[in-house]
Amino acid sequence: MNILMIGAHQDDNEFRCGGLAHKYVKLGHNVTFLSMCNGSGGHHILTPAETVATRAKESAKVAELLGITYDVWDNNDCSLVADLETRRRLIRYIRKVNPDLVISHRPNDYHADHRAVGQLVQDASYMLIVPHECPDVPAMRKMPVIMYNEDHFTNPDFAGDIVLDMDDENDIKLEIAKINVSQVFEWLPYTYGEEVPEGEAERWEYLKGMNITAETTDEEVMAAKRGYAVRNAKTAARFRKELIERYGEERGSKIRYAEAFMLCEYGEKLTDELKAKFFPF
């Protein structure tokens, strides 16, 4: 299968669906990450041009670690708009990748770039099969299934339609975070007003956010403030009911880390057959 994950920035796919991406690669499927923005706005010391170059190197390392294709478009951060030109660029791009499954942002999101990506994916969806739209690239014969990454916006609420066990992927997701030095150890801590520790071991603990064991309760996880292991642990705690429904009480109640996805109604219908095909985990 071809799987296309479309984020606004070079950490959106990584942290929201990086575990799922790795699961697909392990099964022999092709995974492509597209970042529609180039990272230009994401630093407080480096110039925009230096930040773009640094992010590109970090993303190349992520691609190598995961075994995926990674494309970064030349749109500057905080400038992406859902206009016709960008929609057509996206239609052509998606047709060339020819995905079975697309995962992206919801258009309900705090960040204008995330909103624009969500809107662009929705706007492109039906046009993918319309031959007279962008006739220079052959139209798809069938729309891909489209799903949204987890977010925390409530109006309307995010639904955990598919919630997956990511216990096996927590380490690689921390490795991904570690690669994104300019983002994870420099820019984001600056925006949060956090001090980042020196030293390899201390930085690993900082990345995790808290030490999560078999005894850690969902309440403790939900009370934790930050961290990349915490982030996926919060998803497991938030969707405990869905995990138990999917995996049964015994396994579902013990899962520490998860990723969650919501169905977009504008792609191919996610039948039970397609659910089994896309999410055999």
Minimum distance of Zn ion from residue 164's CB (angstroms): 21
Compare residues 134 and 176 and give the one whose CB is closer to Zn ion.
176
Compare residues 12 and 150 and give the one whose CB is closer to Zn ion.
12
Compare residues 43 and 256 and give the one whose CB is closer to Zn ion.
43
Minimum distance of Zn ion from residue 212's CB (angstroms): 25
105 near Zn ion, rule: CB under 5 A: no
Stretch that binds Zn ion, among 7-15, 49-57, 176-184, 233-241 (CB under 5 A): 7-15
CB atoms within 10 A of CB 21: 28
With H, G, I as helix, E, B as strand and everything else as coil, classify residue 32.
strand
Report the relative pairing of strands 145-149 and 258-263 from DSSP bridges: antiparallel
Compare residues 185 and 278 and give the one whose CB is closer to Zn ion.
185
Stretch that binds Zn ion, among 1-9, 53-61, 96-104, 139-147 (CB under 5 A): 1-9
221 near Zn ion, rule: CB under 5 A: no
Minimum distance of Zn ion from residue 279's CB (angstroms): 24
Compare residues 12 and 169 and give the one whose CB is closer to Zn ion.
12
**Which H or E element spans position 194?**
none
Minimum distance of Zn ion from residue 59's CB (angstroms): 13
9 near Zn ion, rule: CB under 5 A: yes
> At residue 229, what are phi and psi to the nearest 5 degrees?
-70, -40
Subset of 143-182 contacting Zn ion (CB under 5 A): none
Stretch that binds Zn ion, among 5-13, 142-150, 154-162, 178-186 (CB under 5 A): 5-13
Does the CA dihedral 153-154-158-160 come out positive or negative?
positive
Minimum distance of Zn ion from residue 174's CB (angstroms): 19
Cβ–Cβ < 8 Å for 147, 102: yes
Q: Which residues contact 246 (CB under 8 A, 6 or more apart)?
A: 163, 164, 252
From CA 202, how far away is CA 250, in angstroms rounded? 34
8 near Zn ion, rule: CB under 5 A: yes
SS3 readout for 66-99: HCCEEEEEEECCCCCCCCHHHHHHHHHHHHHHCC
Compare residues 102 and 243 and give the one whose CB is closer to Zn ion.
102
From CA 266, how far away is CA 271, in angstroms rounded? 14
Stretch that binds Zn ion, among 8-16, 88-96, 149-157, 207-215 (CB under 5 A): 8-16
State the Rg of the chain over Cα.
18
- Name the E strands within the chain: 2-7, 30-37, 69-75, 101-104, 145-149, 162-165, 258-263
x/- mask, Zn ion, residues 10-29, rule CB under 5 A, reads --x-----------------
Minimum distance of Zn ion from residue 113's CB (angstroms): 6
Minimum distance of Zn ion from residue 240's CB (angstroms): 26
Cβ–Cβ < 8 Å for 260, 239: yes
> In the block, which residue shows the tokens 């997956």?
164
What is the total residue count of the chain? 281
Compare residues 9 and 238 and give the one whose CB is closer to Zn ion.
9
Positions touching Zn ion (CB under 5 A) are 8-9, 12
